[in-house]
Chains A and B, each alone.
Chain A
Amino acid sequence: MLRTERLSKRINSFSLREITLDVARGDYYVLLGRSGAGKTQLLELICGLTTPDSGRIFLEGEEITRKRVQERGIGLVFQDLALFPHYSVKDNIMYPLKIMNLSLKERVDRVQRAAREMNITNLLLRKPNSLSGGEKQRVALARTLVTEPKVLLLDEPMASVDASLKDDIRRMLRRLNRNGQTIIHVTHDFGEAISLASRVGVMHNGRIIQEGTPLEVFNHPVNRFVARYAGIKNFFRAAFVTSYNSCSGLTEKRTRFKLPKGKYPSSGLLIIGSSEVLLSRQGAAGIQINNIHGVIDDVVPSPTGFEITVNAGDFFYADITHREMEENSFVTGEKVIVSFRPEALRVVGDGEEKKEY
């Protein structure tokens, strides 16, 4: 439905470079990246607020690269929402409808419908300055949705919303997408991407460095940056040795990882999720290999329990539950054994690993 071909744009010292995207009708595509990665610039290119130096944009097969922003049929909700402060909520939503030369009845009907959908019928006479972040977000969405955009672009839609209201907005966005709205959503939060996206594109320094379903990106990060972004903290650069009956990886700090039998590159990244790392004082039951001795460096509370950092030459991060903590009472400075199953290790070879630009 929406396709960009090798889209490039230079803005001062920053460049968006050769962005190729393919978003199908009904997709919920999340562009994930740190601030300054170029996500907002890409949205502005897609909706026509800026024009690319090179590359092309297609919407429903038609090239729209040089088409005026007003005629593209693409809606954009800005991060700061950009509501008109001098208009009431009703007039904000009515604004694009006045331009569309609709009859007064049609305009009023559309405003009422959008207000009902966004659950803001009680706010119509208020001014934006008197609304909460969540309410403003709903008004901004309503204002854009009344134009019935072919593609809805959302720039960090959760940024101005209280944590307690994020679930509401997420539910609303999912519902919109279920009703057929194609959405491109920009965020820096991997959790947000996991909970909403049908596809994810990870942006870094003006490029999309990995694309796929959230699960693909999480399970097979193409490099250290994506792994870190996906919340993975245990990744180690290693050289791999494959012999007749064993395979192993040896890190620069001389930590040896036993791997399941298979073919491995000569060097690359070893990755393991924090929840796969087990801690014990005598070695985890049932795990004969990959028992590494270390000392607890830090114990930090996390939403699900605790995150424990172990210094074993290399640093390991283990997520443990409150119950496990109650049973074991791990403390900083204590000697422990870090254990994990060989099958929990993932390997990204140097050849496969995408360069971190």
Chain B
Amino acid sequence: MMKGHTLFSWVFTILASLVLLFIIAPLAGMFLDSSFSEVRTTAADPVVRRSVWYTLVIAFSATLIFAVGAVPLAWIMARRKFPLKKVVQGIIDLPVVLPHTAAGIALLGFISRDGALGGAAQKAGILLVNNGAGIALAMAFVSLPFLINAARDGFAAVPERTEKAALTLGASQSRIFFTVSLPQAWRSVVSGFIMMFARGMSEFGAVVIIAYHPMIAPVLIYDRFNTYGITAARPASIIFILVALVFFVFFRVMATERRTIFRREDDAAD
């Protein structure tokens, strides 16, 4: 029994290690193939700095702005029954399965001067194509499912009885959402927020169709690769990966820290 268990553990450990190695090896190779001075020089390049800054700001803004609608949509998907709900869920998941360049083309038709949104924006003096706003829309388009689905799962896990109890205690629907549903689904919403932000930040396919300039980091890396080759693209890639990792870990730690604080309060209560 013990021997069988050990063999099982070994096989699974080896298989798991191979997959992890597959993820780590290219990244580690990239770091090993670049010298520190190359990375430092690239990090000092104002074009690279500006590009990383754009990427972070635009991805964060897109996530924040679209969360205003995505979170209520997630709540509706978790709590309401309505005709064609499965179709709506399919629509939400659509950006995940679309080739991102195709998503970019679709979006371009919508936000260009001839498109419905683009035309309206132009009347208001805003040009969406080749603009930060257009990039934000492209990032949001491909990354929204991560927030909506995570938040939906979070709301679905909230015991419906607590919402009903709040109703019998006199609370309005909006008060229940903000004081009962959202606080209990908070972890999933934050987790979805982080995933949407991370996914938006790394988007290339849709963004490059909408706006080559201003150049966000993934487009800059592609541009350096196209223009100067892999040696020039590698340090920029390393810098972007490091910055993305720092933000990703920071948000994760924030979310975990919040969870730990909750647990500490519970333990103290014991």
Determine whether B2 belongs to the interface, using a CB cutoff of 8 Å to chain A.
no
Determine whether A95 belongs to the interface, using a CB cutoff of 8 Å to chain B.
yes
Whole-angstrom distance between the alpha carbons of A99 and B178 in the complex? Answer: 13
Q: Are B168 and A49 in contact, with the CB atoms below 8 A? A: yes
Picked from A48, A75, A84, A129, the residue with its CB within 8 Å of the CB of B180 is: A84
Per-position 1/0 for B109-133, Cβ under 8 A of A:
0000000000000000000000000
Per-position 1/0 for A230-269, Cβ under 8 A of B:
0000000000000000000000000000000000000000
In the bound complex, residues from chain A placing their C-beta under 8 Å from that of B61 are none
Known pairs A78-B164, A85-B184; A70 contacts B172 (CB<8 A): yes
Return the chain A residue nearest B171 by Cβ. A99
Whole-angstrom distance between the alpha carbons of A143 and B161 in the complex? Answer: 15
Determine whether B26 belongs to the interface, using a CB cutoff of 8 Å to chain A.
no
Whole-angstrom distance between the alpha carbons of A76 and B172 in the complex? Answer: 16
Q: Are A70 and B161 in contact, with the CB atoms below 8 A? A: no
Minimal beta-carbon separation of B30 from chain A (angstroms): 43
Q: Are A47 and B159 in contact, with the CB atoms below 8 A? A: no
Return the chain A residue nearest B166 by Cβ. A95
Return the chain A residue nearest B158 by Cβ. A85
Determine whether A125 belongs to the interface, using a CB cutoff of 8 Å to chain B.
yes
Determine whether A223 belongs to the interface, using a CB cutoff of 8 Å to chain B.
no
Picked from B165, B172, B269, the residue with its CB within 8 Å of the CB of A78 is: B165
In the bound complex, residues from chain A placing their C-beta under 8 Å from that of B165 are 76, 78, 82-84
Q: Are A130 and B167 in contact, with the CB atoms below 8 A? A: no
Determine whether A80 belongs to the interface, using a CB cutoff of 8 Å to chain B.
yes
Interface size on B, residues (CB 8 A): 22
Interface size on A, residues (CB 8 A): 27
Known pairs A125-B269, A127-B266; A75 contacts B175 (CB<8 A): no
Whole-angstrom distance between the alpha carbons of A130 and B266 in the complex? Answer: 6
Determine whether B72 belongs to the interface, using a CB cutoff of 8 Å to chain A.
no
Whole-angstrom distance between the alpha carbons of A47 and B165 in the complex? Answer: 11
The B-contacting residues of A in range 90-109, CB under 8 angstroms, are 95-96, 99-100
Minimal beta-carbon separation of A46 from chain B (angstroms): 11
Known pairs A86-B183, A86-B184; A95 contacts B266 (CB<8 A): no
Picked from B164, B169, B262, B270, the residue with its CB within 8 Å of the CB of A143 is: B169
Per-position 1/0 for A58-94, Cβ under 8 A of B:
0000000000011000111010101111100000000
The A-contacting residues of B in range 124-147, CB under 8 angstroms, are none
Return the chain A residue nearest B184 by Cβ. A86
In the bound complex, residues from chain B placing their C-beta under 8 Å from that of A127 are 265-266, 269
Q: Are A80 and B169 in contact, with the CB atoms below 8 A? A: no
Return the chain B residue nearest A70 by Cβ. B170
Known pairs A82-B159, A82-B161; A69 contacts B168 (CB<8 A): yes
Return the chain B residue nearest A143 by Cβ. B169
Per-position 1/0 for A150-176, Cβ under 8 A of B:
000000000000000000000000000
Q: Are B168 and A74 in contact, with the CB atoms below 8 A? A: yes
In the bound complex, residues from chain B placing their C-beta under 8 Å from that of A82 are 159, 161-162, 164-165
In the bound complex, residues from chain A placing their C-beta under 8 Å from that of B164 are 49, 78, 82
Determine whether A147 belongs to the interface, using a CB cutoff of 8 Å to chain B.
yes
Minimal beta-carbon separation of B174 from chain A (angstroms): 12
Whole-angstrom distance between the alpha carbons of A100 and B165 in the complex? Answer: 16
Determine whether A144 belongs to the interface, using a CB cutoff of 8 Å to chain B.
yes
Determine whether A126 belongs to the interface, using a CB cutoff of 8 Å to chain B.
yes
Known pairs A82-B161, A86-B183; A99 contacts B269 (CB<8 A): no
Whole-angstrom distance between the alpha carbons of A193 and B98 in the complex? Answer: 61
Q: Are B159 and A100 in contact, with the CB atoms below 8 A? A: no
Return the chain B residue nearest A85 by Cβ. B184
In the bound complex, residues from chain B placing their C-beta under 8 Å from that of A125 are 269
Q: Are A96 and B266 in contact, with the CB atoms below 8 A? A: no
Whole-angstrom distance between the alpha carbons of A74 and B161 in the complex? Answer: 16
Whole-angstrom distance between the alpha carbons of A49 and B161 in the complex? Answer: 11
Minimal beta-carbon separation of B14 from chain A (angstroms): 40
Return the chain B residue nearest A76 by Cβ. B168
The A-contacting residues of B in range 49-65, CB under 8 angstroms, are none
Q: Are B175 and A99 in contact, with the CB atoms below 8 A? A: yes
In the bound complex, residues from chain A placing their C-beta under 8 Å from that of B179 are 84, 95
In the bound complex, residues from chain B placing their C-beta under 8 Å from that of A86 are 183-184, 262
The A-contacting residues of B in range 161-209, CB under 8 angstroms, are 161-162, 164-172, 175, 179-180, 183-184
Whole-angstrom distance between the alpha carbons of A103 and B265 in the complex? Answer: 28
Whole-angstrom distance between the alpha carbons of A22 and B215 in the complex? Answer: 74
Whole-angstrom distance between the alpha carbons of A58 and B77 in the complex? Answer: 35
Whole-angstrom distance between the alpha carbons of A125 and B167 in the complex? Answer: 24
Return the chain A residue nearest B169 by Cβ. A96
Q: Are A69 and B184 in contact, with the CB atoms below 8 A? A: no
Per-position 1/0 for A132-143, Cβ under 8 A of B:
000000000001
In the bound complex, residues from chain B placing their C-beta under 8 Å from that of A48 are 168
Interface-centre pick from A76, A84, A100 (highest chain B CB count, 10 A): A84
Q: Contacts A49-B168, A70-B167 given; 19 further ones with Cβ under 8 A?
A: A47-B168, A69-B167, A70-B171, A74-B168, A78-B161, A82-B159, A82-B165, A84-B166, A84-B179, A84-B180, A95-B166, A95-B169, A95-B171, A96-B171, A99-B170, A125-B269, A127-B266, A127-B269, A129-B266
Could you jot down 30 A-B contacts, CB within 8 Å? Answer: A48-B168, A49-B168, A69-B168, A70-B171, A74-B168, A75-B168, A75-B169, A76-B165, A78-B161, A78-B165, A80-B161, A82-B162, A82-B165, A83-B162, A84-B162, A84-B179, A86-B262, A95-B166, A95-B169, A95-B171, A95-B179, A96-B169, A96-B170, A99-B169, A100-B170, A125-B269, A126-B269, A127-B266, A143-B169, A144-B168
Please name the 4 residue pairs, one residue from A and one from B, whose CB atoms are nearest each other, closest first.
A82-B165, A96-B169, A126-B269, A82-B161
Which residues of B pack against A, CB within 8 Å? Answer: 159, 161-162, 164-172, 175, 179-180, 183-184, 262, 265-266, 269-270
